[in-house]
Amino acid sequence: MDTLRITKAKKLTGEVTVPGDKSISHRAVMCGALASGDVSITNLCSGDDTARTVTMFQQMGISIQAQGHHSFVIHGKGLHGLREPDDLLYAGNSGTTLRLMAGLLSAQPFFSVLSGDSSLRRRPMNRVVEPLRHMGAHINGRDHGNFAPLAIQGGPLRGIAYHLPVASAQVKSALLFAGLYADSQTTVIEPVLSRDHTERMLSCMGVPINIRGSEVTVQPCEHLEPCRLDIPGDISAAAFFIVAGLIVPDAELVLRAIGINPTRTGCIDILRAMGGQIDIFNERIQCGEPVADIAVRSSSLVATTIEGDLIPRAIDELPIIAVAAAMAAGTTVIRNARELRVKESDRIAAMTSELKKCGVVVEAYDDGMAITGGRGIRGTVCDSFGDHRVAMSLAIAGLCAEEEMIIRDCSCIQTSFPEFMGTLVRIKG
């Protein structure tokens, strides 16, 4: 799947299932390894990123056994059951793995080294390293710890109160994991609330968590209670097919068992504001998370403005929202999203350059972009920049292009959604 060739879709129909939520999957593996007993996980994300997290814990002595299709049993050894790895811990392209593990490993009584692929080694780590050092962590790395590899000599930590300059679930989660081992409570205060999967899961496993607005406090604890974790479908993966259902004529799709955590549904709010016909039904709670089925059908979209508190609730979906904007009447403006510059690629630069190749009028800002839509999309040869979300976004754009869309360097899709192309082919009929 290194090169994708996408042709125009006349219609889209059928039911769609997506991989288990990648963010929740990482946390399920981590919490399962720290639990005092066996934890059963179903619908674990099948992508390479989650596999990196699984492998790390196996390197540290945790038994993780497959029990069928995307189902596993983790034999947790408790908060103090990890052993020193005898080799480097490799996160591949997974920033979530590296940043969250930096927090957890800072408290372990051993030495470890975290690294990743060339893309991950270019992503800034000081945002998590600095507050962990305030807790007493001993972390070294390139550029004084701003870039991996990170060498961590674990040891005792102290509880702190830390104000995040930018809302970040990864940094918040790293501090919460470290806070499980600290000598006093740890409080993280965000400017706006980021995704709260870590807080929900720790609370379900008996950890004392107090949440007040965008402030969360964790108390040191003795153990995590074993439980069963049935992971909902990933709304970030679902977003590609939600947008496809909106922009392709004669489309009607139903997406099953999708996580609708309110810290993650910014994309739904944005697309509805653009005129998207999106219905949420059959709501229930699964794995401590709100879950529902989602129905979507072809819609006439209009431009909107995306900024402020919406950004952290839709940060991973902004590349595919840019494609929706390219098909909407008017100019959609995205602001306050400079975080897109330091993802797997510079997503502002990537989506700007590739949509321009497709004949879309786009202006890039330091913290976002303006996309003038309603003029159609031209098929051409595009690059993914090794970024799974850019690759899949361009593939969805290709469904509306008169000419064939060719997208290069698409093996990156394996990191989060290996079934993407198979699903796309099936609903095209």
Q: What digits encode the pLDDT tens for the residues 272-296?
A: 999 999 999 999 998 889 999 999 9
Q: Which of 169, 164, 137, 161 is nearest to 151 (CA)?
A: 137
The reported pLDDT for the residue numbered 272 is 98
CATH architecture entry for 22-230? Alpha-beta prism (3.65)
This prediction has a pTM of: 0.94
Can you state the percent helix, strand and coil of the chain, rounding each to 5?
35, 25, 40
Mind listing the pLDDT tens digit for each residue in 307-345? 999 999 999 999 999 999 999 999 999 999 999 999 999
Neighbours of 287 (CB within 10 A): 23
Q: What is the CATH number of domain 3-20+232-428?
A: 3.65.10.10
Largest pairwise CA distance in the chain: 62
269 three-state secondary structure: helix
What is the secondary structure of 282-346 as a DSSP string? Answer: EEEEETTEEEEEEEEE----B--EE-GGGTTTTGGGHHHHHHHHHTSBEEEEE-S-GGGGGSSS-
d(CA 219, CA 149): 30
Contact 30, 177 (CB under 8 A): yes
Catalytic residue, candidates 49, 316, 383, 387: 316
Residue 64 burial by Cβ neighbours in a 10 Å radius (0-12, 13-18, 19+): buried
Question: What is the pLDDT, as a whole number, of residue 57?
Answer: 98
Of how many residues is the chain composed? 429
Q: Are 4 and 425 in contact (CB under 8 A)?
A: no
Residue 137's pLDDT is 98
Domain map of the chain by residue range?
Answer: 3-20+232-428, 22-230
What is the Cα–Cα distance from 50 to 66, expressed in whole angstroms?
A: 14
Q: Is 316 known to be catalytic?
A: yes
Equal fold, 3-20+232-428 vs 22-230: yes
Q: Which pLDDT value is given to residue 1?
A: 65
Which stretches in the chain have pLDDT values below 70?
1
Q: Which amino acid is at 137?
A: A
The pLDDT value given to residue 171? 97
Q: What is the pLDDT of residue 367?
A: 97
Tokens of 37: 């007993």
Cis peptide before 262 (omega within 30 of 0): no
